[in-house]
Amino acid sequence: MTDIAPVLARLDADRDAALDRLCTLVGMQSISTDPAYAGECARTAEWLAEDLSAMGFAARVQKTAGHPLVIAHHEGPGPHVLFYGHYDVQPVDPLELWHRDPFDAAVIEEDGREMIVGRGTSDDKGQVMTFLEACRAHLAVHGALPCKVSIVLEGEEESNGDALKTFLAANPAEMTADLALVCDTTMWNRNTPAITTMLRGIVTEEITVRGATRDLHSGFYGSAAANANHVLAAALAGLHDASGRVTLRGFYDGVPEISESLRAQWETLDFDPAGFLGGVGLSVPAGEAGRSVLEQVWARPTAEINGVSGGYTGTGFKTVIPAEAHAKVSFRLVGDQDPDAVRESFRDHIRSALPADCEAVFTAHGGARAISMPTDKPAFEQARRALSEEWGREAAFIGCGGSIPIVGDFRRILGMDTALIGFALEDDRIHSPNEKYDLRSFTGGMRSWARVLAALAD
Amino acid sequence: MTDIAPVLARLDADRDAALDRLCTLVGMQSISTDPAYAGECARTAEWLAEDLSAMGFAARVQKTAGHPLVIAHHEGPGPHVLFYGHYDVQPVDPLELWHRDPFDAAVIEEDGREMIVGRGTSDDKGQVMTFLEACRAHLAVHGALPCKVSIVLEGEEESNGDALKTFLAANPAEMTADLALVCDTTMWNRNTPAITTMLRGIVTEEITVRGATRDLHSGFYGSAAANANHVLAAALAGLHDASGRVTLRGFYDGVPEISESLRAQWETLDFDPAGFLGGVGLSVPAGEAGRSVLEQVWARPTAEINGVSGGYTGTGFKTVIPAEAHAKVSFRLVGDQDPDAVRESFRDHIRSALPADCEAVFTAHGGARAISMPTDKPAFEQARRALSEEWGREAAFIGCGGSIPIVGDFRRILGMDTALIGFALEDDRIHSPNEKYDLRSFTGGMRSWARVLAALAD
């Protein structure tokens, strides 16, 4: 049994150096969805592999058809765990809304809390470093890790790339462990740690509606000529009915009702829907009528228009009838919803909304099924106990509205379950300007992983 | 009575020099809606004033709160006419769709027709120069003009500025003539000249819908949080009912049915709705059910979404719930529709479509009533005869779906009627990439104005 106290002490003593390492990592502009930043992604992978090598891991940068993977292995006496994280980040626009350079991370104080501000501090570079720092401390103190640890860090999580999936399928022997660990989720709240046991799936789709062969003058052609903006607005407005339900044919096939026992457990979580929405300036739940906010964001499928553009959007006014209009639409899936079927149903919906002289062009981005974990397996209880000890509160098993497709790949390709343990908070502004990671998330996260690794070896 | 034959001969002989002058004028990037081009607008006004001075006009550049006016006067024996045109142009985006530099005008051959290609060749620099060249030829041949001619050229037509309106109101004595002449409209077709006697009015409005205080992650907040893109799409989709009618309360107040006599005259025009739509790749009239295409574009009011944007619209995908979404919307008005009432009704419509936790911010751009001309006055018949002689076909009195607010100002502020005589064609791609002006529009336009000026003095 590992002596954990000196490892925790070492983490506390090394805190400032760990912060410096995180700021260096955040400084690399690894925006995976924009090809202009491919070099920065590669540089980030190199830096991580070097850091892991310096710790004593057998680490390498693995080339792929897309952004590279970082892969590392270290022997240990306990069970074999595979830690997963991603080093890529979301774009930073609108840049003018950031209060400081998104790639120049710093610790600031806000509302009496210390927080690290910068793109990727929470999603996912800060979370990744909590695990790496825990390994570093174990190795520094004991010269060993409590478990056999493999690590894989990908660079295409934010761009829905499939380089990692391809690599797993081609290298199952190297990548299969007893349990996967993922640090890309939130705590239940600032004081209560959590293991996420339900993840929604996702379908992302891009659509272009085309009308006339060119932009037209709305004076000459107005009302007689199809306006791509109108056609798209009508098609997208029709995605929901008045009760907030998604109208796609077959959309709710495979959507389960949550069990009474889960509903009862969620009720003990003391969730405050008014505070949840009020924290971002809202007050009216926008999802399906008759469903609680927690159900809407954890257990119900959604359709969201993530982006839309068409016609003249610059300064001033241009009375144009646009020939094209564009949208990016995503669906969050639950239960047994089939991503391919949802995508096809969406395309049918759009096509059926088109006048005969308009057409739609579709581009598929990613797709993944929803997933839930077998929380009765011992590893989940061991991890839960370790988290509870660190935070002084019973850790919660919670749902998550987000999608982490790799968790499905771990199960389907490698037969592994995943313990999703993260220290982000709902107000971390991930994917938004002024993304932050609470300093306490970072310090508590490092200490938590040190304990979890030890507990899994018990 | 003016001897017109030598004036026409002079125009034919001077054609290449006239083309050079037009290309120089097109080369000035007078995009009025974008403040970055204010200097180019001023340079364009200077050039025009110098050209008019060189011809013998008393010409000046008149400063305003916005882009300057060009004002010029020349004595003559006949009635006093005020010629109006605009030297500003629309933006050129999307630039990648132009086959050549939009500001490097040139004569090319396409489909067996010679045409001048460049931004503003048709709207309105080419049209303006047809009138200036006609004056130049009269002055060169006879040392005099058949009429007393005043000219006002504005630089804010494409940006809905009110500098000219303000100037007219402040200087009615200088600017009032017996008749206004405007060259900013089309021929009926390539062989048939036209005087436009009905113009639609316009209301332009910009709207921003605001939901959450920041962009949100669609995994964490999806379906529970209001999505500004959804709210906007639903509100805009609701602008029309299934029959194509605009749903705004009171929108059709003051919309007249066209008279049986006008309907009968339009039927003689041999309009081909399938060809009109087919020319731009469309086949399904998008306007009100039960109305002909000609009625839809000339005599019925419209609502058009000219631009829309919200959320992530860059390369790749970002699963964001946008805090804001934007639209530019315009309405074309007919009959006695009140622009202010339409604007208020639109704002009410949007507000009523908002959830309680979302808000809308509105920005008014221009507004103008529709207008129609007293075609029984002699000047209209004189101009019609002159056009018919030049083109060898009876000139048509036609409607126009576009809006030229200044024509309403001429009537309301100065008590003047306007003869709208233009030589543009429906396929001139105005406001679009590869804008052109047929060489025959230019040469026939110059000769037409030479004849019209003489005819008005008869």
pLDDT tens digits for A234-290? 999 999 999 999 999 999 999 999 888 778 878 888 889 999 999 999 999 999 999
Q: Give the pLDDT mean for A162-189.
A: 95
Contacts of A300 in chain B (CB under 8 A): 223
Closest CA to B386 of B129, B74, B2: B2
Residue of B nearest to A324 (CA): B307
Task: Report pLDDT for B53.
Answer: 98
Q: Give the pLDDT mean for A22-32.
A: 98
pLDDT band, very low/low/confident/very high, at B108 (cuts 50, 70, 90)? very high
Which residue in the set B35, B308, B314 is minimally distant from A311, CB to CB? B308
Cβ atoms of A448 and A193 within 8 Å: the answer is yes
The answer, yes or no, to whether residue A403 has pLDDT greater than 80, is: no
Cis peptide before A256 (omega within 30 of 0): no
| Range scoring the smallest mean pLDDT among A180-194, A401-415, B141-155 | A401-415
Residue of A nearest to B424 (CA): A220
The burial of A287, by beta-carbon neighbours within 10 Å (0-12 exposed, 13-18 middle, 19 or more buried), is given as: buried
pLDDT band, very low/low/confident/very high, at B353 (cuts 50, 70, 90)? very high
Q: Do B302 and A218 touch (CB under 8 A)?
A: yes
Cis peptide before B124 (omega within 30 of 0): yes
Q: Which is it for strands B80-86 and B148-154: parallel, antiparallel or unpaired?
A: parallel
Distances (CA, A) of A158 to A67, A151, A161, A252, A363: 11, 19, 8, 27, 17
The answer, yes or no, to whether residue A357 has pLDDT greater than 90, is: yes
The answer, yes or no, to whether residue B265 has pLDDT greater than 80, is: no
Task: Report pLDDT for B423.
Answer: 98
Q: Measured between alpha carbons, how far is B282 from A213 in angstroms, rounded to an integer?
A: 8
Q: Give the pLDDT mean for B377-397.
A: 94
Topology of domain B201-255+301-368, per CATH?
Answer: Alpha-Beta Plaits (3.30.70)
Question: What's the maximum distance between 2 C-alpha atoms anywhere in chain B?
Answer: 81
Residue of A nearest to B425 (CA): A220
Residue type (1 letter), B71? I
User: Which tokens in the block code for residue A414?
Assistant: 């490698």
Q: Do B284 and A355 touch (CB under 8 A)?
A: yes
Q: Give the pLDDT mean for A397-417.
A: 86
Contacts of A93 in chain B (CB under 8 A): 312, 314
Residue B294 belongs to what H/E stretch? helix B293-298
The DSSP symbol for A416 reads -
Q: Measured between alpha carbons, how far is B457 from B303 in angstroms, rounded to an integer?
A: 42
Task: Report pLDDT for B120.
Answer: 98
Q: Measured between alpha carbons, how far is A413 from A395 in angstroms, rounded to an integer?
A: 29
- Cα dihedral A426, A432, A436, A442 sign: positive
Residue of A nearest to B325 (CA): A308
Q: Which of A199, A209, A282, A300 to mutate to test the interface with B (most CBs of B within 10 A)?
A: A282
> What phi, psi does A281 have (nearest 5°)?
85, 15
The DSSP symbol for A449 reads H
Q: C-alpha A282: how far from its chain's center?
A: 23
Q: Measured between alpha carbons, how far is B227 from B323 in angstroms, rounded to an integer?
A: 7
Q: Give the pLDDT mean for B31-58.
A: 97
Q: Do A307 and B355 touch (CB under 8 A)?
A: no
pLDDT band, very low/low/confident/very high, at B223 (cuts 50, 70, 90)? confident
| Range scoring the smallest mean pLDDT among A156-160, A258-262, A330-334, B325-329 | A258-262
Torsion of CA A130, A428, A296, A368, to 10 degrees: -50
Q: Which residue has the tokens 């339409």?
A: B342
Residue of B nearest to A238 (CA): B234
Cβ atoms of B79 and B457 within 8 Å: the answer is yes
The answer, yes or no, to whether residue B402 has pLDDT greater than 80, is: no
For chain A, residues classed under CATH 3.40.630.10 are: 5-199+372-456
For chain A, residues classed under CATH 3.30.70.360 are: 201-263+283-368
Which residues, 6+ apart, have CB-to-CB distance to A181 below 8 Å?
A81, A82, A83, A84, A131, A418, A419, A421, A452
The alpha carbon of residue A186 is apart from the nearest alpha carbon of chain B, in Å, by 10
Cis peptide before A339 (omega within 30 of 0): no
Q: Measured between alpha carbons, how far is A223 from A13 in angstroms, rounded to an integer?
A: 70
Q: Do A314 and B288 touch (CB under 8 A)?
A: no
* Helix runs in B97-148, H state only: 125-142
Q: Which of A308, A358, A432 to mutate to test the interface with B (most CBs of B within 10 A)?
A: A308
pLDDT band, very low/low/confident/very high, at A374 (cuts 50, 70, 90)? confident
Which residue in the set A35, A287, A330 is minimally distant from B319, CB to CB? A330
Contacts of A276 in chain B (CB under 8 A): 224
Q: Which is it for strands A324-333 and A201-210: parallel, antiparallel or unpaired?
A: antiparallel
Q: Which of B98, B243, B305, B350 to mutate to test the interface with A (most CBs of A within 10 A)?
A: B305
First vs last Cα of chain B: how many Å apart?
Answer: 6
The alpha carbon of residue B409 is apart from the nearest alpha carbon of chain A, in Å, by 19
Q: Which residue has the tokens 């299934």?
A: B242
Q: Do A304 and B319 touch (CB under 8 A)?
A: yes
Task: Report pLDDT for B200.
Answer: 87
Cβ atoms of A94 and A189 within 8 Å: the answer is no
* Helix runs in B143-272, H state only: 163-170, 172-175, 218-221, 228-237, 260-267
* Helix runs in A144-199, H state only: 163-170, 172-175
Which residue in the set B220, B282, B315 is minimally distant from A211, CB to CB? B282
Exposed e or buried b per residue across B236-256, where buried means at least 16 C-beta atoms within 10 angstroms of its C-beta? bbbbbeeebbbebeebeebbe
Contacts of B317 in chain A (CB under 8 A): 33, 159-160, 204, 206, 306, 328, 330, 365-366
Q: Give the pLDDT mean for A296-304.
A: 91
Task: Report pLDDT for A366.
Answer: 83
Q: Do A284 and B357 touch (CB under 8 A)?
A: yes
Give the 3-state secondary structure of residue A450.
Answer: helix
Q: Measured between alpha carbons, how far is A450 from A457 in angstroms, rounded to an integer?
A: 11
The alpha carbon of residue A446 is apart from the nearest alpha carbon of chain B, in Å, by 24
Topology of domain A5-199+372-456, per CATH?
Answer: Aminopeptidase (3.40.630)
pLDDT band, very low/low/confident/very high, at A200 (cuts 50, 70, 90)? confident
Compute the radius of gyration of chain A from its Cα atoms: 23
Higher pLDDT among residues B266 and B327, named by residue: B327
Residue of B nearest to A161 (CA): B316
Residue A157: other Cβ atoms inside 10 A: 25
Q: Which is it for strands B80-86 and A418-421: parallel, antiparallel or unpaired?
A: unpaired
Cβ atoms of B148 and B68 within 8 Å: the answer is no
Q: Measured between alpha carbons, how far is A367 from A346 in angstroms, rounded to an integer?
A: 13
Q: C-alpha A302: how far from its chain's center?
A: 16
Q: Measured between alpha carbons, how far is B332 from A313 in angstroms, rounded to an integer?
A: 19
Residue B449 belongs to what H/E stretch? helix B439-456
Higher pLDDT among residues B128 and A296, named by residue: B128
Give the 3-state secondary structure of residue B225.
Answer: coil
Residue type (1 letter), A45? A
Q: Measured between alpha carbons, how far is B418 from B406 in angstroms, rounded to an integer?
A: 10
Contacts of B200 in chain A (CB under 8 A): 219
Task: Report pLDDT for A376.
Answer: 80
The answer, yes or no, to whether residue A292 has pLDDT greater than 80, is: yes
Task: Report pLDDT for B405.
Answer: 79
Task: Report pLDDT for A458.
Answer: 84
Q: Which residue has the tokens 């395309």?
A: A347
CATH of B5-199+371-456, one of 3.40.630.10, 3.40.50.740, 3.40.640.10, 3.30.56.10: 3.40.630.10
Contacts of A317 in chain B (CB under 8 A): 33, 159-160, 204, 206, 306, 328, 330, 365-366
Q: Measured between alpha carbons, how far is A182 from A411 in angstroms, rounded to an integer?
A: 13
The alpha carbon of residue B251 is apart from the nearest alpha carbon of chain A, in Å, by 15
For the domain bounded by A201-263+283-368, which CATH number is listed? 3.30.70.360
| Range scoring the smallest mean pLDDT among A77-86, A142-151, A193-202, B378-387 | A193-202
**Percentage of residues of chain B with pLDDT beyond 70:** 100
Q: Measured between alpha carbons, how far is A452 from B428 in angstroms, rounded to an integer?
A: 71
Q: Which is it for strands B396-400 and B194-199: parallel, antiparallel or unpaired?
A: parallel
The alpha carbon of residue B150 is apart from the nearest alpha carbon of chain A, in Å, by 28
For chain B, residues classed under CATH 3.30.70.360 are: 201-255+301-368
Q: Measured between alpha carbons, how far is B25 from B37 in angstroms, rounded to an integer?
A: 15
The model carries a pTM of 0.72
Q: Which residues pair with A89 in a beta bridge?
A: A31
Which residue in the set A159, A211, A286 is minimally distant from B227, CB to CB? A286
Q: Give the pLDDT mean for B329-345.
A: 95
pLDDT band, very low/low/confident/very high, at A60 (cuts 50, 70, 90)? very high
Q: Which residues pair with A438 in a beta bridge?
A: A115
Q: Do A222 and B304 touch (CB under 8 A)?
A: yes
Q: Do B223 and A328 touch (CB under 8 A)?
A: no
Which residue in the set A159, A284, A430 is minimally distant from B217, CB to CB? A430
The answer, yes or no, to whether residue A14 has pLDDT greater than 90, is: yes
Give the 3-state secondary structure of residue A273.
Answer: helix
The answer, yes or no, to whether residue A452 has pLDDT greater than 80, is: yes
The mean predicted confidence, pLDDT, of chain A is 94
Which residue in the set A32, A215, A225 is minimally distant from B431, CB to CB? A215
Task: Report pLDDT for A128.
Answer: 98
| Range scoring the smallest mean pLDDT among B80-94, B264-278, B422-436, B444-458 | B264-278
User: Which tokens in the block code for residue B95?
Assistant: 């630039």
The answer, yes or no, to whether residue B366 has pLDDT greater than 80, is: yes
Cβ atoms of B232 and B327 within 8 Å: the answer is yes
